[in-house]
Amino acid sequence: MKAYLVTGVAGFIGSTLAERLVRSGYPVIGVDCLTDYYSPERKVKNLRWLLHQRHFRFHREDLLKLDPDPLLKEVEGVFHLAGQPGVRSSWGQDFTGYLHNNILATQTLLESARKHELRKFVYASSSSVYGNCNSSVLEEQLCQPVSPYGVTKLAAEQLCYLYWYNYGVPTVSLRYFTVYGPRQRPDMAFYRFIDALLRDDPITIYGDGNQTRDFTYVDDVVEATIRAMESDVVGETFNIGGGRSLDLNTVQDILHQISGLEPHLVYEAPFQGDVQSTLANTEKARRLLGFYPRTCIEEGLLEQYLWQKNDS
């Protein structure tokens, strides 16, 4: 059995995906350069189980310094999850890192992929490509990102499309909507909220708390990502969302019910690039991938809360 390549394998979603694949009997080659956007030690901790599995091999490499050809000769398909995350830090001089890790790295991998016979090249994109949306969005909607991060994710999507159109690389792009759950990055909202709650610190909300998000549990995202690999669909883009939009104030109420702890809320001005609302129309993913989100926000938040409580 040929392996799958998972880039960004030490990250929140990448490590969860790789574990699912290995537990299902698939060999996995993982690549991650362990950037210091957040603690590399935390990323290594994400790999703790995988590093002891004989069907997992890890390369600590920058995709722009790695020759992908030898790896792509070994694999059946590519899950390209590597990238520089974060809307708020993508401005100014930091944009160079986003250009490097989101656009150039994707182009390098695609250029190599066109020389190999792959089952699929699945690219992890983001709902940030849409910008501000007042209703549920379809994949055909005009993308108008309002952050440099969103611009780079959209550019990488377009690279995937043109390598499919011109060279037949079997690409699929998945637009993830606000993923949460165990191993979530420490800069993300739910992690910060729970961490502050456990420490009895103030919870900072940027904005009035009425901004809404379509929150998607990590196991549902992994399921959709594997379905994209196994499907016959190529050259397409899919929304991957949880199917329910909630405002951040309601999230605080749910956390209070889960934990029994009283949140101390502090409201500050929103950041440039933050959108007011997101909500995915996932009919296309249901129809072509058979994807249905299974985890409600109450169940998923409880899982993340228990993980953080035990991890602290």
Active-site annotation, residues: 149
DSSP assignment, residue 66?
S
Q: How far is CA 117 from CA 152, 250, 276, in A?
A: 27, 47, 42
Cα–Cα distance measured from residue 97 to residue 83, given in angstroms and rounded to the nearest whole number: 9
Close Cβ partners of 199 (under 8 Å, ≥ 6 residues apart): none
Q: Could you count the other beta carbons within 10 Å of the beta carbon of residue 292?
A: 12
Indicate the burial class of 99 (C-beta count within 10 angstroms; 0-12, 13-18, 19 or more). Answer: middle
Cα–Cα distance measured from residue 204 to residue 201, given in angstroms and rounded to the nearest whole number: 9
Cα–Cα distance measured from residue 215 to residue 13, given in angstroms and rounded to the nearest whole number: 14
Q: Where are the beta strands (DSSP E) in 21-150?
A: 28-31, 56-59, 75-80, 120-126
Find the largest Cα–Cα distance for the chain: 56
Q: How far is CA 4 from CA 53, 157, 229, in A?
A: 15, 20, 10
Structure tokens that stand for 225 in this block: 């990502």
